[in-house]
Structure 1
Amino acid sequence: MRVFLIVWFGQLISLIGSGLTNFALGVWVYQRTGSVTQFSLILLFGLLPSIVVSPIAGAMVDRWNRRWCMILSDSGAGVTTVAIALLLVAGNLQLWHIYLAVGLSSVFKAFQLPAYTASTSLLVPKEQLPRANGMVQSAQACAQLLSPLLAGVLLGIIQLEGVILVDFATFLFALTTLLLVRFPDTKTDVVPKEEKTSLWQEAMEGSTYIFGCPGLLALLIVFALDNFVAGTVEALLTPLVLSFTSVTVLGTIQSMGGAGMLIGSVAISIWGGTKPLIRGIFAFDILAHLCILALGWRTDATLFSLAMFLFFFSVPIINSSVFTILLRKVPPAIQGRVFATMQALALSCIPLAYVIAGPLADRIFEPLMAADGLLAGSIGQILGVGPGRGIGLLFITMEIIAILVTVSIYRYPRLWFIERELPDVI
């Protein structure tokens, strides 16, 4: 645990630093362009390259030393940060520079995340994996909660250049922690020398392994569905909240979500999760869907704050439990590929949600729930009519379908008994 704690603390500091720069660059782009589309492109460039590269990255992580993979990934992300800082100081920073830098950082992240996650099983005893994964989730929660607050203060004091310098210092700190420790060796070459395969064939082994285990495939479907819901909420929550209240209240609601994620991460770190873990995943998965369903019923800031708190409280418990099952059941030699494949397939649902959510809300659900809309005299009498009520109906419709699908998937015996049927590899 000592080595894990050192690495975890370094990554925590680095995540906070990266959050500072991401927030500050988003503000810089929006202030100079006034374009929501240009701002949204930062989110897209920060996600798509990681999805595309993940299968190959997972195969390379399994070939390489995972500690050095993390070192090189952190170094590459640090170099892109320095490049942005130099362009900014020289007065030559353009939008395409930012998109390129964010895209490159996303590629490095595709290597770093599978290496970091797969290394956990090398460093932590099997019985401590739920708590260790909870700590990983807590680091992400801290970054989500603290980075926007710190960036808002620092931008007014040291400007964008200073924020980027702070971010680079956090990269150096994370790099130092990795250089100071050693990871246990693991057998990563599972292919006999005379049967060597190409890198692409190895990359496909992650999906082959998942599709060969029906329980893991069902778990991936659940994970993908949850990511689609989260992407839809991320895309539509701001216009929904602003349809009935102020920007200040919106910030409060989002802060409640960050607080819920942090408390949920600490809770799973101390608690360790249910036994078996799949029961906890199901329970908190249903709770998360019910929270989003509640957002559609009433335009009430208190209800929204409570729903977002409980939703984000559930997220780290679900993620930590899923990662623990994978670390216990997937052989260490192919964990990089399996985690990368899960990441690519699950995260691909988020940009899909971005693309679908806006047109569904603008062209179908909002007109239906307008004051003179087709549903104003029926459903509108229950949910209300006017701006935002179409998004509310979309949330309710989406969550009714999501809950039915979730319950159906969990009734599948291969998923419900996954911890009993798949042997522990540790």
Structure 2
Amino acid sequence: MTSPLRDRAFARLWVAGLFAETAEWMLQVAVPVFIYQATGSAGSTALTMIAGVLPIVLLSPVAGHVADRCDRRLLLCAVCFAQAAVALPLLAARGPLIYLVMIAQSALASLFEPARNALVPALVGTDLVTAANGLMGMNSSVARFAGSSLGGVVLGFAGLGWVVGCYLAMLTLAGLLLAPRFTAVTRGERANHGWFGGFGHSPVLRVTALTAALMSVAQGMFLVLFVVFVTGPLGGGEAEVGLLRGVQAIGGFAAGFAVATVARRVLPAHLLGWGAVVLGLVSLVIWNGPVVTGALGVYIGLFSAVGAPGAVTGAGLFSVVQQETGPDRLGRVSSTFFAGMAAFQALGMLAAGALVGRIGLTSLLDAQSALYVAAGLVTLAGLRRRLATVEPCPASTPPATST
């Protein structure tokens, strides 16, 4: 069975992604906790996160065109070094400055994700896309564990400055790995599909977009309420926040490995739909667990388990988009998806920050779980039969060897 890692260009992209995502998780965990500790406000924490997603929405059309017209490998390399540079002001650790840095980081991320998502099928080909996304899921799980744990622990024991130092080092390593030239095709061919790559013309992409919107609202709620949940009902601190975010990597790693090997031929719609349903149900158990027990060991196990459906869902979502979209417009379609997900994630953040004091933490978390279940049902009803009979759009075939 051929592995995408046999392609050396993809392997280098894979390792670079490990460093870049680890750095991102460190910052994603450390900065909201830092703000929450400084202000004691869930609303301020939500505003920090929203400042990190709005540029993705606003810059989506430009980011997609750049990803389809530029050398995607070179673009990823440049973004890594630029993100390291704009993070330097965080060493001052002042409130307004933090918001500006998060905006700048998000603007650069709006270029990174579409380019990477479009580069994967260009390197490995259509047949190995699901396996490649499974490997990316494994990578993300390791990065989540390492980055989340380091972000919480380093913040607690050494402060935000040391978190930023680790962040800079990891992004530099990622940029250096991406610097050597790839021999594979790394940019889309010129074609006129509009600013969004003909996104609205595909029924499959429209259903997938609805699914992604529901999951993104749920994820936005989680990002705000998770810190409140751990520091409130569970009585934890910085280390517990980082640990419980990080242990999701255990299930995610196992699930990513399964998708990359034994489950690589499973219909992507099944991965997306059933993954979302299971994710919602396991989340429901977690949020209502403090009624029974607050033992940290129990939640380490539960958060480890919830990482598995999360990784399966991610692999299914990206595989559907990549297989449904031609290589000449994959950057724009990917950018449209990332922008929509960021917008609905911001909506979830705002709702969580505004309603947690009125409705109550547990009720909001239960609603978050229900959104995941609804997203899974939308996918299973709307995509399964169509994707079973429609051939995916061809992606570019990788060369025999890549260096």
Fold-level similarity (TM above 0.5): yes
User: Which of 225, 233, 236 is the aligned partner of 1:236?
Assistant: 225
1:124 equivalent in alignment to 2:124: yes
Distance in 1 (alpha carbons) for counterparts of 2:154 and 2:374: 46
Q: 1:5 — aligned with what?
A: 11
Q: Distance in 2 between matches of 1:187 and 1:250?
A: 44
| 2:324 is the counterpart of 1:323 | no
Correspondent of 2:56 among 50, 58, 72 = 50
Per the normalisation by structure 2, the TM-score is: 0.83
Alignment partners' CA distance in 2, 1:108 and 1:131? 27
1:74 equivalenced with 2:74 (yes/no): no
Which is further off, 303-312 or 47-56?
303-312
1:344 aligns to 2:344 (yes or no): no
- Taking the aligned partners of 1:210 and 1:316, their CA distance within structure 2 comes to 24
The residue that corresponds to 1:190 in the other structure is: 191
Return the offset for 1:32.
4.8
Give the SS at the match of 1:271.
Answer: coil
Cα offsets for 1:237-292 (capped at 9, x unmatched): 44445554321696464444343233323332333435322223222222112223
Find the aligned partners of 1:234 and 1:25 in 2 and give their Cα distance.
12
> 2:318 is aligned with what amino acid?
F
Residues 270 and 423 of structure 1: CA distance in aligned 2, closer, same or farther (over 3 Å): closer
Structure 1 position 84, deviation (Å): 3.9
**Aligned equivalent of 2:386:** 417
Q: Answer yes or no: is the 8 Å Cα contact 2:115–2:331 preserved in 1.
A: yes
% identity of equivalent residues? 19
Alignment of 1:208-357 (within 5 A): 209-240=198-229, 244-247=233-236, 251=241, 253-295=244-286, 297-298=288-289, 299-300=291-292, 301=294, 305-357=300-352
Structure 1 counterpart of 2:194, which letter?
Answer: E
The whole-number CA distance in structure 1 between the counterparts of 2:287 and 2:94 is: 40
Structure-2 separation of matches of 1:70 and 1:37 = 33
Q: What SS does structure 2 have at the residue aligned with 1:332?
A: coil
CA distance in structure 2 between the partners assigned to 1:356 and 1:25 by the alignment = 20
Q: CA deviation at 1:354?
A: 1.7
TM-score (structure 1 length as normaliser): 0.79
Question: What is the identity, as a one-letter code, of the residue corresponding to 2:190?
Answer: D
Once residues 146 and 123 of structure 1 are traced to their aligned partners in structure 2, the CA distance between those partners, rounded to angstroms, is 27
Structure 2 unmatched ranges of 5 or more: 1-6, 396-403
Contact 2:52 2:103 in 1 (8 A): yes
1:407 partner amino acid: L
Post-superposition offset of 1:339: 0.3
Q: For residue 101 of structure 2, what is the aligned residue in structure 1?
A: 101
Larger deviation, residues 42-51 vs 237-246 = 237-246
Is the Cα contact below 8 Å between 1:122 and 1:183 reproduced in 2? no
Report if aligned partners of 1:66, 1:119 keep a CA contact under 8 Å in 2.
yes
CA gap of 1:418–1:266, structure 2 versus 1, over 3 A, is: same
Residue 357 (structure 1) shift: 3.0
Q: Kindly indicate whether the alpha-carbon contact (under 8 Å) linking 1:216 and 1:415 is maintained by their aligned counterparts in 2.
A: no
Distance 1:18 1:233, change over 3 A: closer
Shift of 1:116: 0.8
Tell me: CA distance 1:181–1:419, structure 2 relative to 1, closer, same or farther (3 Å). farther
State whether residues 54 and 344 of structure 1, in contact with CA within 8 Å, keep that contact through their aligned partners in structure 2.
yes
Deviation at 1:77, TM superposition (A): 0.8
Distance 1:155 1:400, change over 3 A: closer
Output the amino acid matched with 2:377. V
SS in 1 for 2:80: helix
For residue 261 of structure 2, give the secondary structure of its aligned residue in structure 1.
helix
- CA, structure 1 residues 16+292, in 2 after alignment: closer, same or farther (shift >3 Å)? closer
Match of 1:196 in 2: none
Q: RMSD of the TM alignment (CA)?
A: 3.0
Max Rg structure: 1
Q: Which residue of 1 aligns with 2:3?
A: none
Contact 1:284/1:318 (<8 A) preserved = yes
Deviates more, 1:335-344 or 1:133-142: 133-142
Is the 1:288–1:310 contact (alpha carbons within 8 Å) kept by the matching residues of 2?
Answer: no
Q: Is the 8 A contact 1:238 1:250 kept in 2?
A: no
**1-side partners of 2:244 and 2:172: how far apart?**
34
Task: Give, in whole Å, the separation in 2 of the partners of 1:110 and 1:165.
Answer: 23
Show the counterpart of 2:176. Answer: 176
CA–CA separation in structure 1 for the residues paired with 2:356 and 2:98: 30
CA contact (8 A) 1:296 1:396 kept: yes
- Post-superposition offset of 1:362: 3.2
The reply on whether 1:202 has 2:191 as its aligned counterpart is: no
Question: 1:224 offset after TM fit, Å?
Answer: 1.3
When structure 1 is superposed on structure 2, of 288-297 and 399-408 the one drifting more is 399-408
C-alpha contact 1:214 1:415 (8 A) present in aligned 2: no
> Matched residues in 1 for 2:21 and 2:234: separation?
31
Please give the residue correspondences for 1:332-411 in structure 2 after superposition, counting only pairs within 5 Å.
332-363=327-358, 365-366=359-360, 391-392=362-363, 394-396=364-366, 399=369, 403=373, 406-407=376-377, 410-411=380-381
Count of matched residue positions in the alignment of Structure 1 and Structure 2: 382
Structure 1 residues 167 and 296, CA, compared in 2 at 3 Å: closer, same or farther? closer
CA contact (8 A) 1:295 1:304 kept: yes
Secondary structure at 2:59 match in 1:
helix
